[in-house]
Structure 1
Amino acid sequence: MMNTIITLNEENRKLKLDLLKQQIPPHFVFNSLNNIYSMVQKIDKDVASYVMKFSELIRYSIYESINEKVSLKKEINFLSNYIGLERVRHNPRRVRIEFIQIGEVSNIGIPPLMLLELVENAFKHGINKSHEMSSIFVKIKVKSKRLILIVLNSTPIQNILLKGNIIGGIGLKNLKNRLELFYSKKHTLTLQIGENRYISVLTIDLG
C-alpha cells in the first residue's frame, strides 16, 4: 500500500514538472540565466558565481530529479551549490556554515534529492533570527560502500519549544517513506534535539 502511495506521489511530481515545463520552457530560463551571467560577470564575479549556482540548481531539479537514480557526485554537487547560495544569503558574522566531504563518490548511484531535506531543514530551523550566532555543519562521508550524512545545526529557543514540528514535518515524513522504498532495512535515520542543537544522522548501505 505504501509503495503504491509513493509511486503515485512520484507520478504526481513528474506531472507537475511537465506542466511547469509547458508554462515556462526550460531552454528560455537557462538562456536567460546565461545571458544574465555573461553581463554580470563583467561587473561582479561573485554575483556571476551566484547566478551560475542558481542555474545549476534549477537544471538539476528539472532534469535530474525525474530519474530514479543519479550519481552521488551530482547529488553532492547539487548540495554544494545549495549551501553556496545559502552562504550568500546569510551574514558570515552571524551564521557559520561548514561543509565537508570525505571519501570516493565515483560509480555510486542514489535517488535524486535524497540528501536535500536534512540540509534544507538545518537552514530552515537552525538560523537564529536574533543577533546570536548560528552554526550549521554538514558532513558527507563514504566508506566501505556506506554513505553517512551528518547535519548539525544550532537550535533557536523558539524551535526547541516547537520541537515536535521539527521532527514531524511533511518533508521528513516523505524522506522516511523514500528511504523505506529504496533502502528498506539498509538505512538508519536518527534525529536528536539537544539543549541548543539539532543533529541528523543518515546512514545508507550502498552495497
Structure 2
Amino acid sequence: MLIPFLFWSIINYLCSLYAVVFLDITDSALKSFLVRVVNAGWVDTFSPNHLFKIFLPVLMTVAPPMSLKLILDIIRASTRTLRLERDNLNLEVDFLRSQLNPHFLFNTLNNIYSLSIRNDSLASDLIMHLSEMMRYTLYDSNTEMVPLHLEAEFLKNYIELESVRYGKNASIRFDCDTEKMDGYQIAPLLMFPFVENAFKYSHSTTTDKCWIYASMDVSDNKLKFEISNSKGELPEGKKIAGGIGLSNTRKRLILLYPDQHILFIENNPEYYKVVLTLTLN
C-alpha cells in the first residue's frame, strides 16, 4: 500500500518540476502552486503531511485494480480447493476400484473351486461374472463417466456372485432393465458402496434369514437407485468397520452432481434403506 503513495509523490514532483522549467504557464495561480511544490523539494514530497493530502486520490486510483486482484485471488483459491477435492475423490475412486474387497474375491474363488470339484455348471457362470467385474474395474471404469448400462451390469455381476455365497440363507433380488439405459452416462462405481454395505451388514447380524432387495430404473433423464437390506443385532463382541465408503459417495455426489441428486437414507433396527435419485446429463 505504501509503494503507490511514494510513486504518486515522485511523479507529482517530477511533473511539477518539468512544467516549471520547460513549459510557459500563463495561469498565475497554477504557476504559483507548481513553484511552491518544486521549492519544497524532496523532503516535503515524502513528508507525512503531503502523503496524507494525496491519500484520497491515490486510494481512488489503486482501489479498483487492487479489488480486482483480490477477487481474482479468491476465485483462484476456490478453484484450487475444488480441484484438490476432485483430485482427492479421484484417488478415493481409484482406491475403491483397485481394492474390490479382497475378502470378496477370496470367497468367490473358493466358491468357484468348490463348484469345479463337483463339476457344477454354475462354476463357468461365476467365472464369467468375475471376469466381467474385473474387466470393468480395470479398464472400463478408468474414465470420469461410463455408460450407465455397464455400471448396472457391474452391480448385477457383483450381486450374482454374492448370492451364490449366501445360498439359501438369503433372499436377494436385483431388478434392472439395462435396455432402457442406453445413451446415458454416470460417474463410475457411484452406487457400489451402497451395494457392498448392504451385503456386509445383512450378513453380519444374528438374523436367521437375511434379505437384500435392489433396483435401478431410468425415466425422463432421471435415475432412481434403491437398495434395502435386513438388519439385526450384531453378534456379541463383533463390530463392523465402515462409514468411509458412504462418506466418500456423499462427497462425490456433491461435487459431481450439485443440485442434481437426492440421497435418502433410512436406518432403523429392522432394515437399512438407501434411495438415490439422480439427474443424468
TM tier relative to shorter chain: 0.7 to 0.9
Give the equivalent residue in structure 1 for 2:132.
56
| 1:179 partnered with 2:259 | no
Runs ≥4 in structure 1, deviation > 4 angstroms? 11-18
| 1:98 partnered with 2:178 | no
More strand by share: 1
- Pairing partner for 1:82 from 149, 158, 173: 158
User: 1:15: how far off?
Assistant: 9.0
User: 1:14: how far off?
Assistant: 5.0
**Does the CA-based 8 Å contact 2:97-2:137 persist in structure 1?**
no
* Aligned 1:59-74 pairs, distance under 5 A: 59-74=135-150
CA distance in 2: counterparts of 1:135 and 1:128, whole angstroms: 12
* Aligned 1:1-207 pairs, distance under 5 A: 1-11=81-91, 14=94, 43-92=119-168, 94-102=169-177, 104-130=180-206, 132-158=208-234, 169-207=243-281
Q: From the superposition, tell whether residues 184 and 124 of structure 1 become closer, same or farther in structure 2 (CA, over 3 Å).
A: same
Structure 2 unaligned runs (5+)? 1-80, 100-108
**Does the CA-based 8 Å contact 1:128-1:134 persist in structure 2?**
no
| Identity value in percent | 30
TM-score computed with the length of structure 2 as normaliser = 0.58
Tell me how many residue pairs correspond in the alignment: 183
More helix by share: 2
Q: From the superposition, tell whether residues 50 and 15 of structure 1 become closer, same or farther in structure 2 (CA, over 3 Å).
A: closer
State the SS of the aligned residue for 2:182: coil
Deviations 1:114-137 (A, max 9, x none): 111111110011125446110000
Higher RCO, 1 vs 2 (CA within 8 Å, ≥6 residues apart): 1
**Does the CA-based 8 Å contact 2:215-2:226 persist in structure 1?**
yes
Structure 1 unaligned runs (5+)? 21-32
The two structures, once aligned, show a CA RMSD in angstroms of 3.1
Q: Which has the larger radius of gyration?
A: 2
State the SS of the aligned residue for 1:104: helix
CA distance in 2: counterparts of 1:155 and 1:16, whole angstroms: 25
